[in-house]
Amino acid sequence: MSNDNKSNASSRLSALNSQMPELSPSQLLHSYRNRSKVDRQGLYETFYGPKWEFRNKVYDIICNNSEKFSAPYIDEHDRERTRYAAFKELHFIQKSLNMGYAEYQKDPHAFSMTSNAVYSWSPAICVKYGVHFSLYGKTLMNLGTEKHLPYIYRMMKLEDIGSFGLTEMGHGSNVRGIKTTAIYDPQSNEFIINTPEEVDMKFWIGATAQLANMTVCWAQLYVEGKCHGVHAFLVPIRNKDTHRVMPGITVGDCGPKNGLDGIDNGFMIFHNVRIPYDNLLDKFSQIENGKFKTWIESDDKRFGFQMASLSGGRVQVACNSNQNSIIAVAIAGRYSTIRKQFGAPGKPEQPIIEYPLTQYRIIPNVATAIVLQLSTITLSILWDENQKHLLDVKNTLINELHAISSAIKAISTWTAQRIITESRQILGGHGFSTFNRFGQLYNDNDVNVTWEGDNNVLLQQTGKFLLDSAKKLMKGKKLPFKCTSYISLDPAEGQQSELNSNEDFFNQGKLLKALQWRVNLLLQKTGLKMQEYMQVSKNGWDAFNNAQPFYSVELAKAFGDTWSAEQAIETISKVQNPENKRVLSDFVTLYLLETINKDIGNFRFGGYINCQQYEQIRSSILKLCNKLKDEFIAVLDALAPPDFILQAPFGASDGDIYNRYIGLIYSAKSTFKRPDWWKEVHKAHKKYHFEIDA
């Protein structure tokens, strides 16, 4: 190339570039950030509640010791190394936190907060925590008695590592149908544990394939030939000196999974495994003189109490999934202010957030993540405060919390699937890069919809709670629950919304009323459906199942949406800072409007919302989206974890996204490598004998 040509070429290039006076990526992000006047720390405390310092504590441990932590979303490890890393990091965090049994008894919510913070770094570590401390540990604490204290101490110190063996290959949701047997042998005062058929093996049991030396094994208890239902037994599964599996037990790995590579899910097969009598967790049932004894006569009730120890996990899952939503929408949101694509004819390209379509794809998701954050944190606090009453038969709050957490868990986990998917697409092709976290985020989140109660099964339970409540009302009883305060037997059909003036569409009271009305509508419809089916089939089981699609399941979701909105509104009413209050309030209004929009079929029922109102709901949504695009970056700063935790280069809070991305790509292990089999590339075609006859 002649020198003339070269300088011509480069001057043309610089002319090309100067056509569009451009802000750098960082400047762009900051320009959106600076449009808002919210107080970030204030928002943070609103979002993460009274124990927010514990969140910072975890983040400090990880960020200040970054050399000890291997970014689970960025580093390329195989399964074995991922698990080892998770194991070591778990121990490091636990050691640094230095919180023991006493602290736990005093302040369970601090534990929930730390666990949720760990989740945003690495679901695998958090689940390792959860399996050991919550599932294994809490079962010990809730169902064991004095004599099991040594196990609790060892658990707390990670001297024992425990797993929770409930699910079998053949049985998950129908827990009472599990097949593993524990037969009491009066001669030796032992239990004999057996897996009847291969398909009855314990399956999916976390921390079992590699780690645990103890398990809580759930099995059908047989005494004197009679089955007394599902009970929990402590079974040592590995020798602590050799880490070999105990005789009579087969343990293995469930194999590769869609996500959560860091968790060693395993199966267990028991063949005449004998454990001493004291290994029965005997808070509810004992065997005395060879006879089965219990202080809760009803099998149903006893079963319910035993399972109560599980519900805490459900609350945690709801909180965790919303972290996934937050992370996804934070990455997409920041990116949308930086990424430019197309522009008006003759104008420079514009950031994609300037497209109303992109606003609608992002801002309502921010609103949902905010509302669910406020509702899940409230739920978590309520739950943790009431743990001590878990086994108090008279405490109706437990019923209420069970119904609420079932709905909120389903909503939060499905919402995360949806938000991650949409946010991934906001990044276009770059969302498909592992570095930007979405793939793994989706995969890790996925199981949340299934474990700790499959969503579709959980919603049936919330539906049942609401139907039972309505029945009580019909019998003239007062409901002891706060969450059902608006439930009424007045016919919902024929009522009309109070949305008339333009302002009404931004009136939270009126919008919330619409959500509550929908719960009543669906409750009445579900009740009617069940009656109809009962008349045909005379069969409560059939009627219940037939009323699920379109009715009971929708009812449960509607109830959860409404409860979430109520909590968000209540929390925000206590916010002092006026800017924070105003902005949060706008997001909640957007959530309310979008909730109506997305289920308009039910809201249009009997003309509660008419056509014109529907149109106005939609235009109000777009108005709010447009307004909130000047606030959302600042709000995301308070919602999202710090950059090192977030990991994705395209979510970096400093906006220097392309350089970070390029840096990661250039330094990945085989970026510039010629494949080992390169010689074959241009030899392979010689094997062909096509006739070319063009």
Ligand X SMILES: Cc1cc2nc3c(=O)[nH]c(=O)nc-3n(C[C@H](O)[C@H](O)[C@H](O)COP(=O)(O)OP(=O)(O)OC[C@H]3O[C@@H](n4cnc5c(N)ncnc54)[C@H](O)[C@@H]3O)c2cc1C
Site residues, ligand X (CB under 6 A) = 131, 164-167, 171-173, 204-206, 257, 260, 265, 339, 341-342, 352, 355, 357-358, 425-426, 428-430, 432, 447, 450-451, 454, 456-457
Structure tokens at 129: 């925590």
Q: Report how far apart the first and last C-alpha atoms of the chain are (Å, whole number).
A: 38
Q: 508 contacts which partner out of ligand X, a second copy, none, CB within 5 to 8 A by kind?
A: none
Given a contact cutoff of 8 angstroms between Cβ atoms, the answer to whether 132 and 161 are in contact is: yes
Active site residue 422: no
Sole residue written with tokens 């600076």: 34
d(C-alpha 183, C-alpha 192), whole Å: 5
**Closest CB to ligand X among residues 283, 339:** 339
CB of 584 to ligand X, least distance (A): 27
- CA 658 to CA 652: how far, in whole Å? 10
Phi-psi region of 377 (alpha: psi -120 to 50; beta: other; left: phi over 0): alpha
Q: What is the identity of the amino acid at 576? A: Q
Smallest CA-to-CA distance from 449 within 398, 406, 402 is with 406
Q: What angle (nearest 5°) sits at the alpha carbon of residue 189, between those of residues 188 and 191?
A: 100
Q: Least CB distance from residue 578 to ligand X, whole Å? A: 34
From the CB of residue 236, how many other CB atoms can be counted at a distance below 10 Å?
Answer: 16
Question: Measuring CA to CA, how many Å separate 11 from each of 14, 15, 275, 434, 585?
Answer: 5, 6, 84, 38, 52
Q: Which of the choices ligand X, a second copy, none does residue 52 contact, using the CB cut-off of 5 to 8 A by kind? A: none
Q: 89, 168, 190, 452: which is the annotated catalytic residue?
A: 452
Place of tokens 């310092």: 53
Selection from a second copy, ligand X, none that 166 binds (CB < 5 to 8 A by kind) is ligand X
Of ligand X, a second copy, none, which one sits near residue 131, judging by CB under 5 to 8 A according to partner kind? Answer: ligand X
Using CA atoms, how far apart are residues 172 and 167, in angstroms rounded to an integer?
5
Nearer to a second copy, 160 or 637 (CB): 160
Largest CA distance in the chain: 104
| Angle subtended at Cα 371 by Cα 453 and Cα 369, rounded to the nearest 5 degrees | 75
- 181 annotated ligand binder: no
Smallest gap from residue 334 Cβ to a second copy (A): 17
Residue 206 annotated as binding? Answer: yes
Which bin fits 499, alpha (ψ -120 to 50), beta or left (φ > 0)? Answer: beta
Helix H, strand E, coil C: the string for 581-616 is HHHHHHHHHHHHHHHHHHCHHHHCHHHCCCHHHHHH
What is the per-residue DSSP string for 346-364?
Answer: TSPP-BGGGSHHHHHHHHH
The residue nearest ligand X at its CB is 172
Per partner kind, with CB cut-offs from 5 to 8 A, the member of ligand X, a second copy, none near residue 605 is: a second copy
349 binds, among a second copy, ligand X, none (CB under 5 to 8 A by kind): a second copy
**348 vs 578 by CB, closer to a second copy:** 348
Beta bridge partners of residue 269, listed in sequence order: 250
- Please report, as a single letter, which amino acid is at residue 684: A
According to DSSP, residue 135 is labeled I
Least separation in angstroms between residue 391's CB and a second copy is 18
Shortest Cβ distance from residue 107 to a second copy (Å)?
14
Least separation in angstroms between residue 668's CB and a second copy is: 5
Which of a second copy, ligand X, none has residue 474 at its interface (CB below 5 to 8 Å by kind)?
none
- Rank residues 421 and 500 by Cβ distance to a second copy and give the closer one: 421
State in angstroms the smallest separation of the CB of 138 from ligand X.
13
- What is the spatial distance between Cα 591 and Cα 563, in angstroms, rounded to a whole number? 13
- The residue behind tokens 């930086």 is 338
What tokens were used for 313? 């996990």
| Element holding 266 (H helix, E strand) | strand 266-270
How far is Cα 583 from Cα 415, in angstroms, rounded to an integer? 22
Show the tokens assigned to 174: 């129908």
Least distance to ligand X, CB of residue 339, Å: 5
Nearer to a second copy, 39 or 554 (CB): 554
Torsion-angle region of 150 (φ positive above 0: left; ψ -120 to 50: alpha; else: beta): alpha
- Please give the Cα distance from 340 to 395 (Å, whole number): 56
Smaller CB separation from ligand X, 355 or 550: 355
In the complex, the smallest distance separating the C-beta of residue 157 from ligand X, rounded to whole angstroms, is: 21
206, interface contact from a second copy, ligand X, none, CB < 5-8 Å by kind: ligand X
Nearer Cβ to a second copy (65/485):
65
CA–CA distance, 387 with 407 (Å, rounded to integer): 19
Q: What are the phi and psi torsion angles at 218 (to 5°)?
A: -90, 135
If contact means CB under 5 to 8 A according to the sort of partner, which of a second copy, ligand X, none does residue 205 touch? ligand X
CB 631 within 8 A of CB 39: no
The entry of a second copy, ligand X, none that residue 164 binds, CB within 5 to 8 Å by partner kind: ligand X
Query: Taking the complex as a whole, how short is the minimal distance between the CB of residue 357 and ligand X, in angstroms?
Result: 5
Q: Which residues have CB under 8 Å from 686's CB, separation 6+?
A: none
The 8-class DSSP code of residue 450 comes to T
Residues of each annotated binding site: 167, 206
Residues of each annotated binding site for FAD: 167, 206
Residues serving a catalytic function are 452
